[in-house]
Structure 1
Amino acid sequence: MAGVGSWFGRGLLVIAVFAMVLVGVSAGAVPLQRRAAAAPAPEPVVLRVMPLGASSTVGAGSPETAGYRGPLQALLARDGVTVDMVGSQHGGPASVPDRDYQGYGGMTLEDLLPRVAGWVRGADPDVVLLHAGTNDLLKGASAQATARRLDAVLDEIAKVTDAHVIVAGVWAPLRGDPNDRAEFDRLGAEVVAGFRERGHSMRYADASELLEPDELADGLHPNAAGYRVIAAMWERQILAVTGRRATP
């Protein structure tokens, strides 16, 4: 019987200890093993995009969308890309979330050359969207001269940034010799390829057949539908240089 009593006593002791543990936990005692604290969610990576060019960058033909800038932001947001549009200018309707850009109506590559390094340095972009050359051709510069100006502008950009630079060719139909646009596209692509061979992240997008006649507002500038097409072109190029995928 002594053995039974000893076993019974030990059993009561175990029950008493277990009860004390339960009381301690219910009273707010710290458990023996804590759950690891959840790691804070990482901050989203913000892509700084600099729209750079002339009147189509401003949004001529579709001020209600700020040209391609409004639709482009919507597309990138759908893709999960957080964008900060950069540039020293600010314009567009309140419906466009970020209205910063660098564009001047009528500006040629020749006009851009002495200013572009300072603008790009100040904006500190990750991606530059350059659309220029149309006004050079419209004002009588040859395709060869316009391509040389493009080369000089890209050289100035490359001196101050290692950002991705995406160059879009002329998307507007031009008065005069239609071969000028085709020749500039050919030469412009060669200029950009030369920078790529020297290690710069640059791409050339041939936009010569991008727009249909009914996607132009005035025969020169795109309308809202045309700018949506252009925005989709920029989206594809941006995703390509940043290694991202579009959302279907």
Structure 2
Amino acid sequence: MSGRRLGKVPVILVALCALISIGWVKPPAQLRIMPLGDSITEAPGCWRAYLWDQLRRAGHTNLDFVGTKTGGGCPVGHDRDHAGYSGYQAVGIARDTLLPTWLAVARPDIILMHLGTNDVWNGIGADTVLTAYTTLVDQMRANNPGVRILLARIIPMEPPKCTSCAERVVTLNNAITGWANGKSTARSPIVVVDQWTGFDAVADTYDGVHPIDSGFRKIADRWYPAVTAAVCAATGKVNCATG
């Protein structure tokens, strides 16, 4: 009797191992990245697609783009989740306390923030925008004390109906680096990503504001090394730039 029972043990162990291999072992947690911004992020926001494609091709496959919205009819397949809201201003998002709800849904580890274009369009001063940024960053850290924030110096603007927008963008961008340096912490670093330099508001947009394909590719190319560095730092990997 005891021999027959013992004889079944290997079979049981094999069955248990099979169950574990197909369903009981959880995969490593994905790193959650939230693109945050306005129409340049949302509609269609193809820089998100190109960035996703670059990261995947480099071997960074354990990433999850997250947000409260989904969309983007772009030439390459990608994770379509994001938090881009066309027409929204940084000051409005901060004033109306919209971000905490978005963060509760997305639970990001890394945030890519290109925000301020609509503020500039509406003549809101750089100091007021940076005050809004401060509120937003505080809310990000309340959601995740270790969140990594990649903040864009926003792309240039030269819309025909806003002749002062180009100068206002420069003023905001010039103020961003000093503000970020003062607000950054070791636990929750803020890295400034220069999306302005090399971007042509005439050649890379269809209206002086919104990118065409060449503009989206430039934006993705600028995000890519900063995102890769943030992913490496967040995962604690060494020499992980290529996957």
TM over 0.5: yes
Alpha carbons of structure 1 residues 89 and 245: separation in structure 2 relative to 1, 3 Å: same
**Superposed displacement of residue 42, structure 1:** 9.5
**Superposed displacement of residue 217, structure 1:** 2.1
Alpha carbons of structure 1 residues 42 and 93: separation in structure 2 relative to 1, 3 Å: same
Which residue of the partner structure matches residue 223 of structure 1? 212
Contact preservation (8 Å) 1:131, 1:169: yes
Which residue of the partner structure matches residue 53 of structure 2? 74
Gaps of 5+ in 1: 1-36
Cα deviation digits, residues 89-144 of structure 1 (max 9, x gap): 11123853321111111100012111112211220112111110111111010122
Match of 2:30 among 46, 52, 55: 46
What is the rounded CA distance, in whole Å, between the counterparts of 1:224 and 1:139 in structure 2? 26
Contact preservation (8 Å) 2:194, 2:222: no
Letter of the aligned partner of 2:87 in structure 1? G
Cα deviation digits, residues 61-92 of structure 1 (max 9, x gap): xx3xx421111110000111122111111112
Which residue of the partner structure matches residue 184 of structure 1? 172
What is the rounded CA distance, in whole Å, between the counterparts of 1:123 and 1:186 in structure 2? 30
* Corresponding residue pairs, total: 205
Q: Does 1:92 align with 2:72?
A: yes
Which consecutive aligned stretches of 4+ in structure 1 deviate over 6 angstroms post-superposition? none
Q: Does 1:102 align with 2:80?
A: no
Letter of the aligned partner of 1:139 in structure 2? N
RMSD: 2.4
What is the rounded CA distance, in whole Å, between the counterparts of 1:67 and 1:136 in structure 2? 22
What is the rounded CA distance, in whole Å, between the counterparts of 1:45 and 1:232 in structure 2? 26
Match of 1:121 among 86, 94, 104: 104
Identity %: 26
What is the rounded CA distance, in whole Å, between the counterparts of 1:103 and 1:132 in structure 2? 9
Q: Which deviates further from its counterpart, 186-195 or 226-235?
A: 186-195
**What TM-score comes out, normalization by structure 2 length?**
0.76
Matches within 5 A, 1:19-58: 43=27, 46-58=30-42
Match of 1:152 among 135, 139, 153: 135
Q: Does 1:214 align with 2:203?
A: yes
**Superposed displacement of residue 163, structure 1:** 1.7
What is the rounded CA distance, in whole Å, between the counterparts of 1:219 and 1:54 in structure 2? 15
What is the rounded CA distance, in whole Å, between the counterparts of 1:215 and 1:74 in structure 2? 20
Which residue of the partner structure matches residue 117 of structure 2? 134
Which residue of the partner structure matches residue 241 of structure 2? 245
What is the rounded CA distance, in whole Å, between the counterparts of 2:135 and 2:176 in structure 1? 12
Which residue of the partner structure matches residue 14 of structure 2? none
Q: Secondary structure at the match of 2:203?
A: helix
**What TM-score comes out, normalization by structure 1 length?**
0.74
Contact preservation (8 Å) 1:90, 1:100: yes
**Superposed displacement of residue 216, structure 1:** 1.4
Contact preservation (8 Å) 2:152, 2:195: yes
Q: Does 1:112 align with 2:100?
A: no
What is the rounded CA distance, in whole Å, between the counterparts of 1:115 and 1:222 in structure 2? 26
Contact preservation (8 Å) 1:210, 1:230: no
**Superposed displacement of residue 155, structure 1:** 1.6
Q: Which deviates further from its counterpart, 160-169 or 201-210?
A: 201-210
Q: Secondary structure at the match of 1:68?
A: helix
Which residue of the partner structure matches residue 25 of structure 1? none
